[in-house]
Structure 1
Amino acid sequence: MLGTVSLLLIPLLSGANAANDWGIACKGECSYDIPDTVVSGTLKISGASNAVSDITAAGGWTILSCDASSLAQDIRLVCQSSDCEHLFEGHGAIDTLIRLPETCGSSAFARVANIQVDPNQTLPADIKATISPAGNITTTVFIMSVDTNFAAIDSTKTGPVSFSLEGYNFPVQIITPPPTKRDARGLKTRNWMAFNESNTYDLPPLNIDDTFPLLSTSIDCDHFSASVSASFETKVDVTVSLGLIATGTVIPPVIDEFAVFAGLDASVVGTLDLTASALGTISTGETTLYSVALPGVDFPGFFSLEPIFAIYGGIKATLNADFDLKVDLAYNLNTRAHYPPDTEPSTGDSKPATSTLVFSAVPNLSLNSEVKPLLKPEIKLGLEAFGVATATVSLDVESRLEATLNINADGNAQAGTTCSDASGEIEACVDIKAALSVNVVAEGSIDILGISASNSTTYALYSDGWDLYNKCASASGNTKREAAPVSAGIQRRAGITCPTSSTITSIEEIINEIIQDIQSIGSS
């Protein structure tokens, strides 16, 4: 069902729930869950006892001033209990990874870049009343500089600190901790995400119903004006499901293992509307028809996945005619893509949907044209690691039409048609093919992706093709009807009735009658 995804999050590691507990101070390790009702995710860091600390109330601190949206800033805070002394143990406070309160900073964790006693030791009366002097530094106000420049940390002092995370663009309770670095070595052979009917989540679908212009141009000629216009009437219902897993070390910043998946369930109807009264060749290239940012998974300073759904379109055509054409490129799609490709086999299935054809032409002695439109839905996953390494992984669905339209006054069919042995005064052929291919394209500078900023890697998932219409008719003599194999689920008229009366003497009448028969395909 469109809008629903069935997902089983298999146990990556046995153990307790990974949910962070704001009542327990982080000492050496800590977990953080994304507080969101739309997306879900969890992040865990782990290192030596003094490499990871806490400036929340559980860690013995009260925040006096802090910017809720900054990654790098100065925080004013006061030690409220002896628990705060943990921050200064071992190698000292500087270069310690700390958990931040929900309302302080945009990142769950940050590096202590500097700390000093605030010359202003004034405390609000209500906060001062809650502090019971104990230990050496309680009631002391500090100014702490924090950032997410984890590469600046001297790992010889702190020792390595590992991280692991997983996230999804839909709300789900993650019942197991994310994988440790050791456990992540099995990611490439692990079925880390599978489908199970017992775990179903409704995802909000995108509903797109709009007309997007592709081309409109005209030129003044002697006694008339020649013009070409093309557009896609697009109806798309699509559901996008996303997820990622990453492991490595924060100190130093290294990604050891990485896996991302994208699921696309879609019903697509793209109706090409082409009106031409000109000679020549046109090509629009690939242009953006529609684009929207989707909810992603973001652990600021560590790793982020920012998805964009877009629809691209274009057309190439060689024209020698005066005609109108409307034809549907319609299909249903269900596909799952994983990257890197060896994390789990990608799957996909496409089924052609019913297509309609409307075709009319101004009667003349000949009509020879080829039309090749492109409609490409795409999910682009923007990835960022540690704020410095970036990459994209895209799931591209390229759907194409190839339409050959021929009407000849001498009974000789043109190249590319299937009616070369037809005879008669007038002959008409319509040959329209559809093709669909799904590819994963990766590019960027995250080393774990195995690519560099100077190149990209494409993985073909599958391709499919089918004939929409393949019909020919002649006005007199023999008539040949060719019906290409029709994919399951497409209802087609078995053939068309061709005019054969020898009493028809007007070329215009013959052409009009043939076109009426061809057009009736689309309404049957």
Structure 2
Amino acid sequence: MVPDSETALVLGGLMIWSSDMDDKQFTGLQGLLGKPVGGIQNPLENAKAVTQDWAGKNGQQCKRFDDCVDMENPQASSCGTGQVRIGYDAGGCGSGYGKPICCPSTAYPKSCLWRGDGSDCNGQCHSGEMTLLYSSWGGDPTEGNHKRCGRGRKAFCCVADEWESEIKDCYLGRCGGGCLSGDEKVASVHDPDTCAYSYGHSGPQNRDYCCPSPAKFTNCHWVGKGDCADNTCDDNDIQLMVNSYGDSKSSCHWGRQKALCCDAPAEQAFLPVDLKDIFPTLPPSNDYVKYDLQFPKGASKGSNPVNTAFGWVLIDGPEAAVTSAKVKRDGSRSDLEFLNCHEIQGEKRQKVRFVCTNDGPTSDCEHMMLDGLAGTIIEMPDNCGAATYAVAHEVSVAEDQSLPAHLSHLTKATVKELTFDYNFGLVKRDAGSIYFRADYANIGGYWETVVDSSPASKRSMLRRFYSSSDGDWGSRFATVRNKKSGSGSAFSKTFSQSIFSGLKSCGSAKAFADIVASGSISATAKMAVSIVGTISPSIDIEEVYSFVDTNIDAKMNLDMSMYGSFNLDYTTESLFSSPITMDEFNHIGIISFAPTLMADVGMVADIELAGNISTGVHAYTSTNIVQNFPHNAGDSSGQTAQEAMGTKFSGDISDAAEGTIKIDLRPRVGLSITLNKYGTDGKVVNAFTEASLNTYNALQVGSDKSYNVSLGTGPATTTVTYKNSLDSFTAWSEDSNMDRVIGSSNQAKVIASGAAGGGDDEDNNKGGPSPHTISNETSSLFWDFENSFLGCSTGLVLSCDSLDENPVCEVDICELYPGLCDDYDSVDGGFDGSDDGGFDNGTGSSNSTSNSTLTRRSSLAKRGAERQFKVLLVDKTEATFKSLSYPSIGKLYRGPNGQVVIETAFDVMSNSCDDWEVIDWPLNDVDMSKFVTEHIVELQTIKAWVQAANSGILPSGVQMSVGGIRSKWWKDYFGSAVLSSTLTPVSGSYAPQRPSDRVFDALGSSRNRAVFVPCQKEINSMKALLWDFKSPDQAVFDADLEDAVENCGPIENFLKPLKLILAVFEYLNDADVKKRFEQVVDNVNTQLQLIEGDPNGVPDLSTSWTEFIPDYMTKVVKHARALMTSRITDIRNAYNVANPPANKGTVMDILKDMETAVAAITMPYSTV
């Protein structure tokens, strides 16, 4: 059986803020800092924190397998993730088998041994060793063999690394007792040999065993009586020394010795690192230690930092300012029990009730009151408040003295309440210094090379690395790099950002500019950092070292439409609204490390220009940028390269005056370090160690109006920047004063040239940005410089592109006219009817509630769902009925019912503004996401018919030949299940009893798909608009028309809706569509005749329908003709100006063709 890694006995009460309890804004530490700290962008969005405490600090979490396993089988004998095997017990297992002994990888003893041998084992640990467990057999590693003890037992002893120095400071005092000043007695030893000799064989023969005060070893006692066969310390006790007498005058027999055993100190016996070797200034020995260790996403609890990415912060501070309401010093559960943690809200000052469950001598209930409560940092129980730690202010008797049932036996206990908050600015300030060490690496190899490593200098024979030498750190960094363990943090960001978009009145004309940068930035960064110092009562960073290695790939496309005079001194703006962070380590309120991608866009301009330009640049690192911080810690390297984009340049410069405009992109990749200072001054160090490159496109015009379009990329650079910081890292001062250049620049490259208003030197470039509307975009990056950047020209000629050959109408009508396409059809929405599709059988019940549920949950009736219609009747009441569900385009062809659907899709033949012919495309030739399931006869037709049939008046205002059908039937019968069950089925066995179901089924449903066709969504939306006798928004149309005439705006914006209107009638007159149109009308009429003959039917339904259809369709045609005529007139009037745009001829030719088409507009059943 593998050990349970979750059963931790944690000894605590030490200063730490658990990173998973405070919020992202560091609210819990705002008081400590004296001002809001702000949040870290995207903390661990792509990396999961695995927070660990001092696990098994004194061996409590070390476990022995219950069952014997094959020790030669690595899989069977493995301790599992986050565990280290330190030995095994061979007890009763047979040759080659044993029970592995496992400890947490973050706190395990480095040297253990089975002690005790022979038939009379009497296993006894040595001074400075802990007894971890016992066995009659022992195991490996061993000082003896695996034979079973005939008497006694063997002890598994482990060196308590962190207590060795404490034990070495202890000593035997003088005969007669007494210790040196500053030390105290922990035990007594009877020493007749030494003392008898010293005092002439008489006098006192006792000596005190002394240790520095305050003694870390408590409850010390001698173990061994009689023949001293039982002379071993209890599990997890520490053995200080052995002596044959101990504190009695009786000596052991058989050469045995008694053991001086003490309770284990509160400090951990096994630290993951040696404090002496990670701090340049050693903290006081009576301090207490806590840490927070996190691993990247996918790591399990208990992961080992060896050869993997990690982040941690270690805090070493005094006990006086910190206590725990969660655990006692020995790791056992606190005697304090909090009663209403679930009522704690937010991070304000508030109260929580608690009770003391044990008032005996071992109780810790009063521990929080040590040296006064106010300002004490208190570790709260799990799930009790917004953070693991809070600041205590007061304890008082609670008004509510009630106790939960499981504490009802505490009849004499007083319920109290603790007043607390998370304002760490109010913590005690006189408790002493708080030391810290923080390390982070997003690749493997750093922990074992830098944090837990062999020494770099001969400080001592210690295992781990600490050095203040830049060269030593650089050497360690090189070792980490050479391990090539992990790829680091990967960034990938696409962007499309308005650099500037605006208009400016210039008399009768307008100056304008629309500049858009789009592209992508990708980078992979390997980085690490170590910071050492004190953070309270004042911050003092003794050492800080880091490295950043990165590759960068940046692509930028520029689309520029400009007319006017442009002036701007070189200015930069952030491309991203917030930095992009990955794999962040964040210890709330203390420190965070975050690999970060940022990017800046810079622009400088002094030019008069009229033109449309598209160009771009691709820059990248041909060799990785490598930089240590400070730079003296190693050599730097790296090189940038560049190339033109696929389309180097397109567009047209119609006119220009001498000058230049240059736009650059600077991606910045590095490590963001945020250090929150303790104290009330609120100072924060926010450093960014970065590597970057800078690439650009430029347009330069000479005095003769000749121009060059060029690109260029500078060398790689590194630097340290500080954001909103009132302090900085002194050791990095030389790295933050300037950009440090790495590698060489790339020579500027001309990618296009020509003359303004003339031909280009290569070919006749056209194109540039697609036609679009230019407006004032206050969100554009350089909008704040609108007044200085955009000015009126002094005489440039504005020339619109001539669109004589096939002007393109590619703009999306749904974007031009917001709301027009709200009634949309999602690819996978709706119902395919494969299991009756949740289809109501017409009896008032449904096989599924999915249809009605979808309707209720949506403010818009989405395609596929049943729709509810309400009709105001002539008696001022309402008739309510529903259509049937039907499959959206993504489900239209599914199942047996989908086999009858036409296998073509209807769309315009081309995107040309002067071509509105509609054809049926093979399904494989179209993007079905742009199509919808089309009701050829719109669903709202039934609503209009009900209104006409009820009133007896046709849509045109003409009286029907039959009188109006009474309101009661529409209200009580049409939408209700009133028809006879024996009425002729619609199809198969489907015989709905609601009249409305029969009518809507004829229009198309999940069952009846033969009348559906796939139709392009823009045509469908325009058709629905016309069907309701509505028009595309006049204000939008007028604005687009004005923009085209005055600013050379895109003519497609006002031509596209006219093209679609004509396309609607091309579609309706297609032979396949017309056939289904007539089939729908006939099917509705058939069902109405059946309904008329039912006992609950009503006369004249069929007649009203046959009179309604031609009247309604004629009105639709007349509406479309009038709308087209009006809009064409608007366009002609707009272009009838003294100096019309050069494309007037193109526009007029298109209008002439449209006028011819308008005269021929018709549709099935229309009389015109």
Equivalent position SS for 1:355: strand
State how far apart, in whole Å, the 2-side matches of 1:439 and 1:59 are.
50
Distance 2:518 2:320 in 1: 61
Compared CA separation, residues 252 and 79, structure 1 to 2 (3 A) = farther
1:169-206 CA distance string (max 9 Å, x none)? 68999679799xx9998456352755345463455633
Cα RMSD over matched residues?
Answer: 5.0
How much has 1:270 moved relative to structure 2? 1.5
1:384 equivalenced with 2:676 (yes/no): yes
Equivalent positions of 1:265-276 (< 5 A) are: 265-276=551-562
Give 1:338-487 correspondences, 5 Å limit. 341=630, 344-345=633-634, 347=636, 349-356=638-645, 357-362=648-653, 368-378=658-668, 381-386=673-678, 388-394=682-688, 395=690, 397=692, 399-401=694-696, 403=698, 405-406=700-701, 431-436=710-715, 437-442=717-722, 444-445=724-725, 447=727, 449-450=729-730, 457-463=736-742, 464-470=744-750
Letter of the aligned partner of 1:56 in structure 2?
Answer: K
TM-score (norm 2): 0.32
With over 3 angstroms needed to count, the CA separation of the structure-2 counterparts of 1:468 and 1:147, relative to structure 1, is same
- Distance, in Å, in 1 between the alignment partners of 2:724 and 2:617 is 36
Q: Secondary structure at the match of 2:714?
A: strand
SS for the counterpart of 1:285 is: strand
Q: Against the structure 1 CA distance between its residues 231 and 298, is the aligned structure 2 distance closer, same or farther, given a 3 Å change threshold?
A: same
Change (3 A) 1:241 1:121: farther
- Seen in structure 2, the aligned counterparts of structure 1 residues 283 and 241 have a Cα distance that, compared at 3 Å, is same
Question: How far 1:235 moved relative to its partner?
Answer: 0.7
Q: Which residue is equivalent to 1:481?
A: none
Instruction: Please report how far the alpha carbon of residue 275 of structure 1 lies from its aligned counterpart in structure 2 after TM superposition.
Output: 3.5
Distance in 2 between residues matched to 1:47 and 1:337, nearest whole Å: 34
Deviation at 1:389, TM superposition (A): 1.7
Distance (whole Å) between structure 1 residues aligned to residue 354 and residue 526 of structure 2: 41
Q: Which of the pair is proportionally richer in helix?
A: 2
Structure 2 equivalent of residue 53 of structure 1? 323
Structure 1 residue 214: Cα displacement: 0.9
Q: Give the one of 490, 500, 514 matched to 1:215.
A: 500
| Alpha-carbon displacement from aligned partner over 1:327-380 (angstroms, at most 9, x marks no partner) | 3142238446665x268448452421432321554467x764422212233455
Q: Cα distance 1:148–1:75, how it changes in 2: closer, same or farther (>3 A)? A: same
Equivalent position SS for 1:516 = coil
Deviation track 1:133-186 (CA, whole Å, cap 9, x = no partner) reads 9xxx9986552535453664142xx4444333334568999679799xx99984
Residue in structure 2 matching 1:143, options 412, 415, 418: 418
More strand as a share of residues: 1
CA contact (8 A) 1:94 1:114 kept: yes
1:103 aligns with 2:398: no
SS across alignment from 2:763:
helix
Q: Counterpart in 2 of 1:301?
A: 589
Partner of 2:926: none
Larger Rg: 2
Give identity over the alignment, percent: 14
Is 2:695–2:711's contact at 8 Å kept on the other side of the alignment?
no
Asked if residue 317 in structure 1 is aligned to residue 605 in structure 2, the reply is: yes
**What is the distance in 2 between the residues matched to 1:221 and 1:393?**
46
Summarize the alignment of residues 64-143 of structure 1 with structure 2, pairs less than 5 Å apart: 64-66=339-341, 67=344, 70=347, 74-80=351-357, 82=362, 84=364, 87-88=367-368, 91=371, 93-116=373-396, 118=398, 120-126=400-406, 141-143=416-418
- Report the 3-state secondary structure (helix = DSSP H, G, I; strand = E; otherwise coil) of the residue aligned with 1:126: helix
* TM-score, length basis structure 1: 0.65
Change (3 A) 1:450 1:469: same
State the AA in 2 paired with 1:375.
Answer: L
Q: 2-side partners of 1:459 and 1:101: how far apart?
A: 49
Amino acid at match of 1:386: Y
The answer to whether the 8 Å contact 1:162/1:248 transfers is yes
Distance 1:404 1:251, change over 3 A: closer
Residue in structure 1 matching 2:615, options 326, 348, 353? 326
Residues 677, 683 of structure 2: 8 Å contact kept: yes
Change (3 A) 1:114 1:348: farther
- The 2-side partners of 1:104 and 1:301 are apart by 19
Q: Which amino acid aligns with 1:403?
A: A
The amino acid of 1:393's aligned partner reads A
Counterparts of 2:345 and 2:291, CA distance in 1: 17
CA contact 2:377–2:392 (8 Å) conserved in 1: yes
Once residues 419 and 444 of structure 2 are traced to their aligned partners in structure 1, the CA distance between those partners, rounded to angstroms, is: 35
* Residue in structure 2 matched with residue 229 of structure 1 by the alignment: 514
State how far apart, in whole Å, the 2-side matches of 1:465 and 1:473 are: 23
1:165-314 equivalence runs, <5 A: 165-167=438-440, 186=467, 189=470, 191=473, 193=477, 195-196=480-481, 198=483, 200-201=485-486, 205-219=490-504, 226-239=511-524, 244-249=529-534, 251-257=536-542, 259=544, 261=546, 263=548, 264-282=550-568, 285-290=571-576, 291-294=578-581, 296-305=584-593, 309-314=597-602
Instruction: Tell me the distance in 1 between the aligned counterparts of 2:510 and 2:714.
Output: 34
Aligned position for 1:164: 437
Shift of 1:242: 5.8
Offset at 1:398?
5.5
1:269 shift after superposition: 0.9
Structure 2 vs 1, CA of residues 382 and 242 (structure 1 numbering), >3 Å: closer, same or farther? farther
Distance 1:68 1:241 in 2: 40
Q: Distance in 1 between matches of 2:650 and 2:703?
A: 16
Gaps of 5+ in 1: 5-14, 415-426, 475-506, 520-524
Aligned to 1:29: 288
Contact 2:321 2:428 in 1 (8 A): no
CA distance in 1 between counterparts of 2:445 and 2:751 reads 52
Aligned residues of 2:753 and 2:760 also touching (Cα < 8 A): no
Alpha-carbon distance in 2 for matches of 1:508, 1:43: 62
Give yes or no for contact 1:327–1:358 (8 Å, CA) kept in 2.
yes
Post-superposition offset of 1:462: 1.9
* Residues 1:383 and 1:330: Cα distance change in structure 2 (over 3 Å): same
Shift of 1:228: 3.3
- SS of 1:205's partner is strand
- Between the aligned partners of 2:561 and 2:398, the Cα distance in structure 1 is 74
Report what 1:514 is aligned to: 761
- 1:63–1:428 distance in 2 versus 1, CA, 3 Å: same
Q: For the residues of structure 2 that align with 1:400 and 1:184, how far apart are their CA atoms?
A: 41
SS in structure 1 at match of 2:364 = helix
Aligned length: 440
Alpha-carbon distance between aligned partners in 1 of 2:515 and 2:340, rounded to the nearest angstrom: 58
Matched to 1:389, the amino acid is K
The letter of the residue matching 1:288 is S
| 8 Å Cα contact 2:477-2:547 kept in structure 1 | no
Deviation string, structure 1 residues 64-109 (Cα, Å, up to 9, x no partner): 3444864865444444453525725863555554444453455554
